Structure 1
Amino acid sequence: MKTEEILVVDIEATCWEGRNPPGQENDIIEVGVCLLDVGTGAISANRGILVMPERSQISKFCTQLTSITPGLIEDEGIYFDDACDILEQEYDARNLVWASYGDYDRNQFQRQCSEMRVAYPFGPKHINVKTMFQQKRRMKRGVGMAGALEILNLPLEGTHHRGVDDAKNIAKILHWVLNN
């Protein structure tokens, strides 16, 4: 029997305190991914893909929020189109249902792919885990990922605002939503 998997994605992007400085566009700088086995809750293939910003620079504020430094990106970062290729080739992103916490990740991917003329790596089936959690808990307003984990009495593992860790934490929330 084939197990059903969902690709869970969390991105980090260049950011600033307040508005973007002139000439700076938000660029994805990390794509956190993992595969969630819907039945068992097992999380596999957890990875953070570091991406070089091509239209902006990493601000001190961004580093404080994400812990991602310009030096880390210089050492380990790849181009955005190469990151999209990894999602397609190694994670079968076009054929799997994929999930993120809220719509920011989906919208940022669509916008950046369009603006940079890169093929969108995902298929059409997307799950907004934040909305599903809000509906399942019958909440008037959505809560952030850390808040959802707290409500569920689940530990926040790793570093908050690191895609590699947040993808895994989102997968735990998604598993709860799908199985309760």
Structure 2
Amino acid sequence: MGDGARLLNVVDVEATCWAGTPPAGQVSEIIEIGLTVVDVVAGTRVSRHRLLVRPERSAVSPFCTELTGLTQAEVATGTSFAEACRRLATEHTAGTRGWASWGDYDRKQFLRQCAATGVAYPFGRRHINAKAVFATAFDLPRPVGMATALDIAGLPLEGRHHRGGDDAWNIAALVLRLVERRAWPGSR
């Protein structure tokens, strides 16, 4: 089995958000990308990465800081979205390696932001919605959030919920639980 099938990028993003409607002229933008590389054959989390991304068309709201712990001052030190996508492609072989996220939000946010900014989409076509796979594997009536899934799977929540790096790490643990159960696509 080659690297392309053996290794999987588990991605989670945090984006600017507001308690209600975004202020005039502001749009939701990625401010943090968490990425955990999983070896689905060995059943291990191989590496953990976190990219801070500087928003260009919005600011971090107090609601967003409360939810994620990220501040405007912190994300202002981040890289540009274009540079973050370049790093995903070059350092994490995002264009050729399969990837997973909890739900479809992360994939759609990248598509929206890439289209809006003219930045090349860094990922290939092999995306797996881990939330949907989990719901099927555990015979749930509907998909559940990551924290609930961790409880169902008997796994601890490590770190802070709604932090990209921590959430990607936790989602990777859920992916590995699905691999153990032979419920992950390709692990049967």
Quickly name the TM-score band, shorter chain normalised. Answer: over 0.9
Which residue in 2 is equivalent to 1:19? 21
Cα deviation, residue 41, structure 1: 2.3
Check the 8 A contact 2:55/2:76 in 1, yes or no. no
Which residue in 1 is equivalent to 2:62? 60
Q: How does 1:122-137 map to 2 (within 5 A)?
A: 122-137=123-138
Which residue in 1 is equivalent to 2:11? 9
Which residue in 2 is equivalent to 1:173? 174
Unaligned runs of 5+ residues in structure 1 are none
Check the 8 A contact 2:65/2:71 in 1, yes or no. yes
Any idea what SS the aligned residue of 1:49 has? Answer: strand
Cα deviation, residue 60, structure 1: 0.4
Cα deviation, residue 45, structure 1: 2.5
Q: TM-score, normalization: structure 2?
A: 0.92
Which residue in 2 is equivalent to 1:145? 146
Any idea what SS the aligned residue of 1:43 has? Answer: strand
Any idea what SS the aligned residue of 2:169 has? Answer: helix
Cα deviation, residue 9, structure 1: 0.2
- In structure 1, C-alpha distance between the alignment counterparts of 2:63 and 2:180, rounded to whole Å: 38
- In structure 2, C-alpha distance between the alignment counterparts of 1:164 and 1:112, rounded to whole Å: 20
Counterpart of 2:80, as a letter, is: Y
- In structure 2, C-alpha distance between the alignment counterparts of 1:26 and 1:72, rounded to whole Å: 17
Check the 8 A contact 2:44/2:176 in 1, yes or no. no
Which residue in 2 is equivalent to 1:49? 51
- In structure 1, C-alpha distance between the alignment counterparts of 2:34 and 2:26, rounded to whole Å: 23
Any idea what SS the aligned residue of 2:91 has? Answer: helix
- In structure 1, C-alpha distance between the alignment counterparts of 2:73 and 2:116, rounded to whole Å: 26
Q: Aligned match of 2:39 in 30, 37, 40?
A: 37
Q: Percent identity?
A: 49
- In structure 2, C-alpha distance between the alignment counterparts of 1:62 and 1:161, rounded to whole Å: 10
CA deviations on 1:115-134 (whole Å, 9 max, x unpaired) are 10000000001000000000
Cα deviation, residue 2, structure 1: 4.7
Deviates more, 1:33-42 or 1:96-105: 33-42
- In structure 1, C-alpha distance between the alignment counterparts of 2:79 and 2:43, rounded to whole Å: 30
CA deviations on 1:76-106 (whole Å, 9 max, x unpaired) are x000000000100000000011000000000
Any idea what SS the aligned residue of 2:42 has? Answer: coil
